[in-house]
Structure 1
Amino acid sequence: MPAPLLALAHVTVRHLDRILFADLSLRIEPSQHLALVGPSGAGKSALLAALAGQLLLTGGQATYAGLEAAARQRYPTDPLAAWRQVVSLVGARAPFRARPGGSELYYQQRYEATAAEEVPTVREYLLASPSQAPAAPWTYDRVVERLRLTHLQDQPLIQLSNGETKRLRLAKALLRNPVMLLLDNPLAGLDVASRADFDALLAEVAAAGATVVLATTLGELPAIVTHVAELAEGHIAQVLPVAEYRPIVAPIPLLPDAAALAALWPAAPPAFHTLARLEDVTIRYGERLILDHLNWEIKPGERWALLGPNGAGKSTILSLLTGDNPQAYSQRITLFDRRRGTGESIWDIKRRIGYVSPELLQYFPGQPTCRQVVASGFADTLGPGRPTPAQLATADAWLAVLRLAAYAAKPLRQAPASVQRLCLVARALVKNPPLLLLDEPGQGLDAAQQPYFRAVLEALCAASPVALVYVSHYADDIPRSVTQVLELRAPG
């Protein structure tokens, strides 16, 4: 019988001064493909980081016999060959960096042509991977074609959509030709076609000799999964073959407090006739056409779904509405009854819009507390700012409505990924804007958080004239209050 890839017995997993797992035991065999499931905060991302060797393990015993043997076989002349060289982790955050000598990456940079020159292209990012032997199954040409990145090779990293970034990071991981591939919620942000193809891709990964361990939801278990590990509050509750697994049923969440919502968002008549109007808008990045003669109008109280595949231009439209995209000045765009470029400031626009997106979370500083993050919505800053006591009290009230009060004093990056996303939702709501732009706000929420979040949105739409633009790749995720759809075509 072959040795296990790794075996952890009664170890403690630490990050700085925090214990993430105590008395952790787990064994992964070469023939296993393991799905990690469980509620938000159970430790799925932390366990993946521990398996990748990114967290400190103390006590107990940790052995990596199978991985070490694979590393010695792959790098026979390297006396320092180590098991980490045959493990790839695709985590929740994209670790993109500017070119040497460039400034730190920031959110609006993705819309600035000159600033984008400081950032590597897709081709440069992938070619920076360690070179593999000619016989390696995952070559540059293969991953670029298989992950549908051919037409994006000269694109700066920060100009990719959320889904394109997901595919790129998976391609980067595969170029290492890993023996163990670790994936953190890999389907989040992928369009319908990409999700449908994911099972086939993982089958190819397994056929090339890799063992897959992924954090996912029960509704998205890939076909190759052989075992399920259910996590709960920092420990592994059970590990079973997938055919024998029966989930621990979570309690049905209560409905939001309608009175608390009404107090936070009192009804008021619309202050504008037209919130947004885009007339014959065309946007290009170099030779890449993103939007082609688009016409769209949003009135107060309308609820829209903005749909389309990865790279179709959804995020570009939102950037035109939020004022972040400088190409708006050359287009016929009206925001809040005023033609764009007639003297309004970007802050005049932002204070009337509540906005959340995966890209915003990617570049949001992690040091401020969740309370400070929510309160930053009043000033539209990406940082703690200087909120007043009244603003902090309102931030606490929104955290309570979204059932995040326990995280108020915790730094954003120390909270579970789903809590981080909901904190940005609270940040978008905190100033009662007439227009909400929610780009995949339900991404990564667990089985209890998803229905409760939808109930909050439904209650908010029922009680106020707020206009909503909701972006999602999941039909079931779209609120029932949405009655209109703008669907974009596939790029190219």
Structure 2
Amino acid sequence: MTSKTLLQIENARVNYLGKASFEDLNFTWREGEHWAITGDSGRELTAFLETLRGTTHLPEGKIERPFADQYIIQKTEEGIVHSFRDLIAYVSQQYRFRNKSNLQNFYFQQRFNSSEADETATVKEYLIQNSTPTPGPWSLEVVADLLRLSPLLDSSILKLSNGETRRLALALGLLRQPKIYLMDQPMTGLDQESRAAFGDFLKEIISKGIHVLLTIPSTEIPDGITHIAQLGLGQITQTWPIKEYPKSSGFTQELPWDMDLLERLCANFHIPKEEVIRLENIHIQYGEKVILGQIDWTIEAGDRWQLRGKNGSGKSTLISLLIGENPQAYSQNFWLFGRKRGSGESIWEVKKPIGFVAPELVRFFPANQTVYKVIASGFFDTMGLFKKLNSEQESKIQEWVDLFRLKPFLHHPIQRIPLENQRWALLARALIKAPKLLILDEASQGMDERQREIFKHTIEKILEKTGLTLIYVSHYREDIPDSVDRIFTLE
């Protein structure tokens, strides 16, 4: 007996963000099926989810959503405004939090200033404010327990780590009481423990009648998934039941860049010989909560470190000290390039020798900041371009744009371009001033498998050519360049 169809796409031509994404797209989703969608293009994977949500344009073909038929009939009879989207929860890779004045005017340093936490809602307030009144099995207490948010309910949403923010987004989706749950790379940013528990999370929500479809790397298919589809070249190229899915053997990838140009850009780096960082008995505390306690760490020029720890272990706080964003740095025994913090230096002197990449940076640029302006802001360590550039700086921007093939996006707001291109733009911003220390905090987050591989080997090549000192934060060992040979773990 054939299962009931939940959703069907037939012979669809799909435009996403004004560009053709799919030709002759066909897909059938039946009751009892839970799908993982893989592919080499992050933009294509997101476009597929947006098509299911009904936010793309179909010049040809059609999409039907029988899962919502009964709901639509009922709400029509009741005279209530409705949509099939009422039954869909969607977790994207980009979050847009607002403060209590309903303004999205956060700035990056704000998350480390405890005095400003009152400007943002707590986790509990945020979930209550954004949940639906629709009755269902998912209460605040249930989702907080399921996603390990109970200890964080009174915490400001701005102070959450990447992984905690991801769990918050998953919880909010459940509070919509959905029939369909769509997730775009939901395991990104989760620590090893959370990734291991993600399959249990899926099985729990599936047991309550939710149908799941997510995009994910082919190497990370979680428990609970029954079917896998592969996207490529504008259509679904193949589908498998989970038991028949072939295991990936990995692949090698030549860098797609102009290697002569990369060589010339790397020649601008001048690496110091002195000690880069020394931390002695670092202690960071907010109220009664100790974030970092008795931390000692010395980094010499040319060292390559992986910084690791569970979500919420203090990695972001430690990095905030190193990049000059944490106001408690002045009370700590902390030396940067041989100079003790708090000895009269300005924040700009602290930032100048350090390149920093973190995916959440994109959220803190003003909405009018284009890719060009974001890259240019790396000269000044500001969240946007507010100064006039000289001809040498303009030339340097063009070289990094050419290297990472960002020209098609140059004058687009960075928040509106594909995630993989955002990551290359942020890397260009970090490297454009030829820093002495590069800090990468989950820097390839949101990229597909192929792009993550390219990112890793690009960093490897830059390290080889420059001798840069590196701190790399990632929960994924496969993302760490091979030359990273030291590990610092926060418990």
Could you tell me the TM-score, scaled by structure 1's length? 0.90
What residue is the counterpart of 1:354 in the other structure?
A: 355
Equivalent of residue 487 in structure 1, options 474, 477, 489: 489
Q: 1:153 corresponds to which residue?
A: 153
Matched, 1:431 2:407: no
Cα 1:16–1:446, aligned 2, differ >3 Å: closer, same or farther?
Answer: closer
Inter-CA distance 241–392: structure 2 relative to 1 (3 Å threshold): farther
Structure 1 alignment gaps of length 5 or more: none
Q: Distance in 2 between matches of 1:293 and 1:248?
A: 43
The more displaced of 100-109 and 422-431 is 100-109
The residue that corresponds to 2:477 in the other structure is 475
What CA deviation, in whole Å up to 9, does each residue of 1:341-387 have, x standing for no partner?
22211111111110011221332346544344323211222224444
| Cα distance change, pair 220–329 in 1 and its aligned pair in 2 (3 A) | same
Deviates more, 1:108-117 or 1:427-436: 108-117
How many residue pairs are counted as aligned between the two chains?
Answer: 487
Tell whether the 8 Å contact from 2:269 to 2:435 is kept in structure 1 after alignment.
Answer: no
Cα offsets for 1:210-262 (capped at 9, x unmatched)? 11111111101123222222222443333443444569999742246654333
Q: Which residue of 2 aligns with 1:222?
A: 222
d(CA) in 1 for partners of 2:481, 2:87: 43
Q: Is the 8 A contact 2:271 2:466 kept in 1?
A: no
Partner Cα distance (1:434, 1:42) in 2: 33
* Deviation larger for 337-346 or 446-455: 446-455
CA distance in 2, matches of 1:210, 1:457: 40
The letter of the residue matching 1:185 is Q
Q: Distance in 1 between matches of 2:452 and 2:373?
A: 24
Q: Deviations over 1:287-329 (max 9, x none)?
A: 3221012122222111111110000011111111111111212
- After superposition, the Cα gap between the structure-2 partners of 1:176 and 1:304, relative to the gap in structure 1 and judged at 3 Å, is same
What's the RMSD between the two structures over aligned residues? 2.8
Cα deviation for residue 484 of structure 1 reads 1.9
Q: How does 1:75-474 map to 2 (within 5 A)?
A: 77=78, 79-100=80-101, 104-128=105-129, 129-133=131-135, 136-245=136-245, 252-255=252-255, 259-266=260-267, 270-271=271-272, 273-365=274-366, 367-385=368-386, 386-402=388-404, 404=406, 407-408=409-410, 410-474=412-476
Equivalents in 1 of 2:74, 2:207: separation in Å? Answer: 19
Partner secondary structure for residue 5 of structure 1: strand
- 2:313–2:490 contact (8 Å) kept in structure 1: yes
Cα–Cα, structure 1 residues 328 and 50, in superposed 2: closer, same or farther, change >3 Å?
Answer: same
Secondary structure in 2 aligned to 1:283? strand
**Partner Cα separation in structure 2 for residue 307 and residue 196 of structure 1:** 16
**Residue pair 1:323, 1:346 contacting (<8 A) in 2 also:** yes
* SS of alignment partner, residue 301 of structure 1: coil
- For the residue of structure 2 that corresponds to 1:485, the secondary structure is strand
Seen in structure 2, the aligned counterparts of structure 1 residues 245 and 365 have a Cα distance that, compared at 3 Å, is farther
Give 1:49-64 correspondences, 5 Å limit: 49-64=50-65
CA contact (8 A) 2:98 2:105 kept: yes
Q: CA offsets per residue over residues 156-206 of structure 1, 9 Å max, x none?
A: 111000000001110111112211000000111000000011111111111
Residue 356 and residue 178 in structure 1: after superposition, are their counterparts in 2 closer, same or farther (change >3 A)? same
Aligned partners of 1:471 and 1:348: how far apart in 2? 24
Secondary structure of the residue aligned to 1:181 is strand
| Aligned counterparts of 2:373 and 2:455: Cα–Cα separation in 1 | 21
Within 1, Cα distance between the matches of 2:103 and 2:372?
A: 32
Q: Equivalent residue of 1:480, what SS?
A: coil
Contact 1:102-1:118 at 8 Å conserved across structures:
no
| Distance in 2 between residues matched to 1:306 and 1:403, nearest whole Å | 30
Segments of 5+ residues of structure 2 without an aligned counterpart are: none
User: Is contact 1:13-1:58 (8 Å) kept?
Assistant: yes
CA contact (8 A) 1:4 1:28 kept: yes
Secondary structure of 2:121 counterpart: coil
The secondary structure found in structure 1 opposite 2:328 is: helix
Q: Equivalents in 1 of 2:132, 2:412: separation in Å?
A: 37
In structure 1, distance between residues paired with 2:427 and 2:91? 25
- Where 2:26 maps in the other structure, the secondary structure is strand
CA distance in 2 between counterparts of 1:262 and 1:426 reads: 15
The code of the aligned residue for 2:124 comes to R
User: What SS does the aligned partner of 2:158 have?
Assistant: helix
- In 1: Cα distance, 2:421 partner to 2:185 partner: 15
What amino acid is the match of 2:350? I
Checking the alignment, whether the CA contact within 8 Å between 1:86 and 1:179 is kept in structure 2 is yes
What CA distance in whole angstroms lies between the structure 2 residues aligned with 1:113 and 1:71?
46
1:318 is matched by which residue type in structure 2? I
Cα distance, 1:119 vs structure 2: 0.7
Quickly say closer, same or farther: Cα 1:405–1:248, change in 2 above 3 A: farther
Is 2:42–2:446's contact at 8 Å kept on the other side of the alignment? no
Give the TM-score normalised by the residue count of structure 2.
Answer: 0.90
For residue 44 of structure 1, report the CA deviation from its aligned partner. Answer: 1.0
4+ aligned runs moved over 6 Å, structure 1: 73-76, 247-251
